[in-house]
Amino acid sequence: MSRSGPGASRSAPEPTVEERRVTILVTGARGNVGRHVVEGLVRKGARVRALTRDPARAGFSDGVEVVRGDLSRLDSCRTALEGVTAMYLFPLAYRTSDVQSFADVAVNTEVPGLAAEAGVRRIVLLSSNAVLYGADEHHQQAEAAVEASGLEYTHLRSGEFAMNKLFGWGESIRKEGVVRSGFPEVVGVPIHQADVAAVAVVALLEDGHQGRGYELTGPQALTEREQVGEIAAGCGRGIRFEELTPEQARENWLAQGMPAEVVDEMMAHSAHFAEKAPVVRNTVQEVTGRPARTLRQWAADHAKLFR
């Protein structure tokens, strides 16, 4: 029906093309994954609203609507959710700013219900593959809350981010050209944050991914020793590997200022993967149509941060 045709005065005007574009809310938008989600959605022509506690530091491309919001203050999220059709939800946890304890993240369990009340139809949740072996209670809670909200959902059950290498090993590589590890033969399949985001973009925009829990990994299973070799090759500098006992590794993490409960989680993850090596999953390629980036590629992308 034409907007100027007969009867147009009694029925609501048809939405314009612009109005038909759904608004997608990206939380954690300035973060490692979130920034790539924002950029990926923009490249696909989506209308993006980015949530941050500090809009002045947002720095997104033109056309991204930036809103102030704090996921630990639910009132501030209500405004951000107005008119939103789909959202990328990242859970608050240790390392995400001021949250120092997993006990602080109960807010993750309330946001999905708030989103449902606000009329959101779809949530893509950044979760963790640790839920598959009964760990990471905060991710389990977030998944349960998303499912209880009744919305369409996709859980992105990511394995360890390659970014963890920067947090864990970056300083000693920069200062001393060395990595100290208590788990030299433990295998990991680190994933580039851009690949997690690429899957999120597809699940936000396309049908056929709802009700799914996608396990996401990088493309190669590598021991910690091999990972150091790949990082050295990618960032173009020599890196020595120095072996610690697991107990020394624990002390090392505590000395870096990590809370004891986080160190305990990391020790549990290492013990788990020493027993049962993680498996390479092809999900990134299956969902996005392009292969997951290697650790060497990731290191090349972040080479400046290792010098």
Interface with ligand NAP (CB under 6 A): 28, 30-34, 52-54, 70-72, 90-93, 95-97, 126, 128, 158, 160-161, 164
Find where tokens 């851009």 sit. 194
Closest residue by beta carbon to ligand NAP: 31
Burial class (CB in 10 A: 0-12, 13-18, 19+), 72: middle
Taking the C-alpha atoms of residue 76 and residue 57, their distance in angstroms, rounded to an integer, is 18
Closer residue to ligand NAP in complex, CB, 32/181: 32
Q: Please report how close the Cβ of residue 211 comes to ligand NAP at its closest, in angstroms.
A: 20
Backbone φ, ψ for residue 51 (5° rounding): -95, 130
Bridge partners (DSSP) of residue 122 are: 86, 152
Nearer to ligand NAP, 70 or 237 (CB): 70
- In angstroms, give the least distance from the CB of 128 to ligand NAP: 4
Site of tokens 């996709």: 154
Dist. CA 227–CA 136, nearest whole Å? 24
DSSP string, 136-200: -HHHHHHHHHHHHTTSEEEEEEE--BTHHHHHHHHHHHHHHSEEEES-TT-EE--B-HHHHHHHH
Closer to ligand NAP at the Cβ: 30 or 296?
Answer: 30
CB of 42 to ligand NAP, least distance (A): 17
Closest distance of CB 277 from ligand NAP, Å: 17
Nearer to ligand NAP (CB atom), residue 168 or residue 234: 168
Contact (Cβ atoms closer than 8 angstroms) between residue 189 and residue 222: yes
Residues whose CB is less than 8 angstroms from the CB of residue 92 and which lie 6 or more positions away in sequence, other chains included = 71, 72, 99, 104, 105, 107, 108
CA–CA dist 187, 202 (Å, integer)? 29
Beta strands in the chain (DSSP E): 23-26, 47-52, 65-68, 84-89, 122-128, 152-158, 178-181, 187-188, 212-216, 222-223, 240-243
Q: Is 70 or 226 the residue whose CB approaches ligand NAP more closely? A: 70
CB of 15 to ligand NAP, least distance (A): 31
Of 163 and 205, which has the nearer Cβ to ligand NAP?
163
**Nearest approach, Cβ of residue 178 and ligand NAP (Å):** 22
CB of residue 240 to ligand NAP, shortest distance in Å: 24
Nearer to ligand NAP, 111 or 232 (CB): 111
